[in-house]
Chains A and B, each alone.
Chain A
Amino acid sequence: MKYTPHTDADRKAMLQSIGVKSVEELFADIPKEVAFTRRLAVPEAMSELELQKHLGNLAAKNADATSHVCFLGGGTYDHFIPAVVDHVISRSEFYTAYTPYQPEVSQAVLQTIYEYQTLICELTGMDVSNASMYDGASAVAEAAIMARATTGRNKILISKSVHPEYRQTLATYNLGLEMETVEMPLKNGTTDTEAVKKLLDGKTAGVIVQSPNFFGAIETPRALVDAVHAAGALLVVIADPISLGLLEAPGNYGADIVMGEGQALGNPMSYGGPHLGFFATREKMARRMAGRIVGATVDNRGQRGFVLTLQTREQHIRREKATSNICSNEALNALAAGVYLTTLGKQGIREVAELCVKKAHYAAKKVVATGKFKLAFNAPFFKEFTVKGAFCPCKVQDELLKHNILGALDVGHWYPELANHLSFAVTEKRSKQEIDELASVLEGVQ
Chain B
Amino acid sequence: MKKVQPLIFELSSPGRKGYSLPALDVPDVPVESLVPKGELRQVPPDLPEVGEVDIVRHYTKLSQLNHGVDIGFYPLGSCTMKYSPKVNEQVSRLPGFAYAHPYQPEKASQGILQLMYEMEQYLAEIGGVSRVSLQPAAGAHGEYTGLLIIKAYHKKNGQKRTKVIIPDSAHGTNPASSVMAGFDIVNVKSNERGGVDLEDLTRVMSEDVAALMLTNPNTLGLFDENIHKIAEIVHAKGGLLYYDGANANAIMGWSRPADAGFDVVHFNLHKTFSTPHGGGGPGSGPVGVVEHLVPFLPVPTVDYDGKKYFLNYDHPDSIGKVKGYYGNFGVVVKAYTYVRALGPDGLKKASEDAVLNANYIMRNILEYYDLPYNRHCKHEFVAAPFRIMKATGVKTLDIAKRLLDHGVHPPTVYFPLIVHEALMIEPTETESKESLDYFIDALNSIAKEAYENPEIAKTAPHDTVVGRLDESGAVRKFNPRWRREA
In the complex, residue of chain A having the shortest beta-carbon distance to the beta carbon of B53: A84
The answer to whether B400 touches A272, judged by C-beta atoms less than 8 angstroms apart, is no
| B contacts with A, residue count (CB < 8 A) | 207
In the complex, residue of chain B having the shortest beta-carbon distance to the beta carbon of A340: B19
Given contacts A3-B430, A245-B45, A347-B17, contact A98 B87 (CB under 8 A): no
> In the complex, which residues 40-69 of chain B have their Cβ closer than 8 Å to any Cβ of chain A?
40-50, 52, 55-56, 59-60, 62-69
Asked whether any CB of chain B lies closer than 8 Å to the CB of A235, the reply is no
The answer to whether B323 touches A123, judged by C-beta atoms less than 8 angstroms apart, is no
Complex Cα–Cα for A331 and B344 (A): 32
Which residues does chain B contribute within 8 Å of A132, judged by CB atoms?
281
The answer to whether A319 touches B431, judged by C-beta atoms less than 8 angstroms apart, is no
Distance in Å: Cβ of A274 to nearest Cβ of chain B: 3
The answer to whether A2 touches B481, judged by C-beta atoms less than 8 angstroms apart, is no
Asked whether any CB of chain A lies closer than 8 Å to the CB of B286, the reply is no
Contact of A358 among B26, B260, B343, B409 (CB under 8 A): B26
| A contacts with B, residue count (CB < 8 A) | 208
Contact of B347 among A42, A218, A301 (CB under 8 A): A42
Contact of A18 among B59, B115, B276, B359 (CB under 8 A): B359
Asked whether any CB of chain B lies closer than 8 Å to the CB of A202, the reply is no
Complex Cα–Cα for A23 and B28 (A): 72
Complex Cα–Cα for A221 and B20 (A): 33
Contact of B342 among A45, A380, A409 (CB under 8 A): A45
Asked whether any CB of chain A lies closer than 8 Å to the CB of B415, the reply is yes
Complex Cα–Cα for A76 and B330 (A): 14
Among A25, A60, A309, chain B packs the most CB atoms within 10 A around the CB of A309
Complex Cα–Cα for A62 and B324 (A): 20
The answer to whether A59 touches B94, judged by C-beta atoms less than 8 angstroms apart, is yes
Asked whether any CB of chain A lies closer than 8 Å to the CB of B24, the reply is yes
Asked whether any CB of chain A lies closer than 8 Å to the CB of B369, the reply is no
Asked whether any CB of chain B lies closer than 8 Å to the CB of A67, the reply is yes
Complex Cα–Cα for A64 and B256 (A): 37
Asked whether any CB of chain B lies closer than 8 Å to the CB of A435, the reply is yes
The answer to whether B31 touches A354, judged by C-beta atoms less than 8 angstroms apart, is yes
Asked whether any CB of chain B lies closer than 8 Å to the CB of A220, the reply is yes
The answer to whether A324 touches B254, judged by C-beta atoms less than 8 angstroms apart, is no
The answer to whether B429 touches A134, judged by C-beta atoms less than 8 angstroms apart, is no
The answer to whether B104 touches A342, judged by C-beta atoms less than 8 angstroms apart, is no
In the complex, residue of chain A having the shortest beta-carbon distance to the beta carbon of B184: A320
Complex Cα–Cα for A93 and B360 (A): 28
Asked whether any CB of chain B lies closer than 8 Å to the CB of A295, the reply is yes
Asked whether any CB of chain B lies closer than 8 Å to the CB of A431, the reply is yes
Contact of A67 among B38, B95, B253, B284 (CB under 8 A): B95
The answer to whether B323 touches A169, judged by C-beta atoms less than 8 angstroms apart, is yes
Contact of A328 among B283, B329, B471 (CB under 8 A): B283
Among A33, A326, A331, A382, chain B packs the most CB atoms within 10 A around the CB of A326
Which residues does chain A contribute within 8 Å of B158, judged by CB atoms?
none
Among B42, B70, B128, B481, chain A packs the most CB atoms within 10 A around the CB of B481
Complex Cα–Cα for A252 and B46 (A): 14
The answer to whether A114 touches B97, judged by C-beta atoms less than 8 angstroms apart, is no
The answer to whether B175 touches A320, judged by C-beta atoms less than 8 angstroms apart, is yes
Asked whether any CB of chain A lies closer than 8 Å to the CB of B196, the reply is no
The answer to whether B469 touches A103, judged by C-beta atoms less than 8 angstroms apart, is yes
The answer to whether A62 touches B469, judged by C-beta atoms less than 8 angstroms apart, is no
Contact of B176 among A13, A322, A339 (CB under 8 A): A322
In the complex, residue of chain A having the shortest beta-carbon distance to the beta carbon of B145: A172
The answer to whether A286 touches B5, judged by C-beta atoms less than 8 angstroms apart, is no
Asked whether any CB of chain A lies closer than 8 Å to the CB of B130, the reply is no
Complex Cα–Cα for A362 and B280 (A): 41
Asked whether any CB of chain B lies closer than 8 Å to the CB of A378, the reply is no
Contact of A2 among B172, B256, B341 (CB under 8 A): B341
Which residues does chain A contribute within 8 Å of B469, judged by CB atoms?
103-104, 297-300, 305-307
Contact of A335 among B18, B279, B337 (CB under 8 A): B279
The answer to whether B172 touches A322, judged by C-beta atoms less than 8 angstroms apart, is yes
Distance in Å: Cβ of B195 to nearest Cβ of chain A: 9
Given contacts A349-B45, A355-B24, A428-B22, contact A78 B63 (CB under 8 A): no
The answer to whether B279 touches A244, judged by C-beta atoms less than 8 angstroms apart, is no
Asked whether any CB of chain A lies closer than 8 Å to the CB of B301, the reply is no
The answer to whether A300 touches B343, judged by C-beta atoms less than 8 angstroms apart, is no
Distance in Å: Cβ of B187 to nearest Cβ of chain A: 10
Closest 4 CB pairs of A and B: A272-B325, A59-B96, A45-B343, A61-B111
30 residue pairs bridging A and B, Cβ less than 8 Å apart: A33-B228, A34-B259, A39-B253, A51-B87, A67-B95, A86-B93, A92-B68, A93-B64, A95-B84, A95-B277, A98-B76, A104-B469, A108-B63, A108-B279, A121-B481, A122-B47, A163-B324, A168-B321, A246-B31, A268-B99, A274-B282, A274-B329, A274-B330, A274-B331, A299-B468, A325-B141, A331-B282, A342-B55, A344-B47, A409-B103
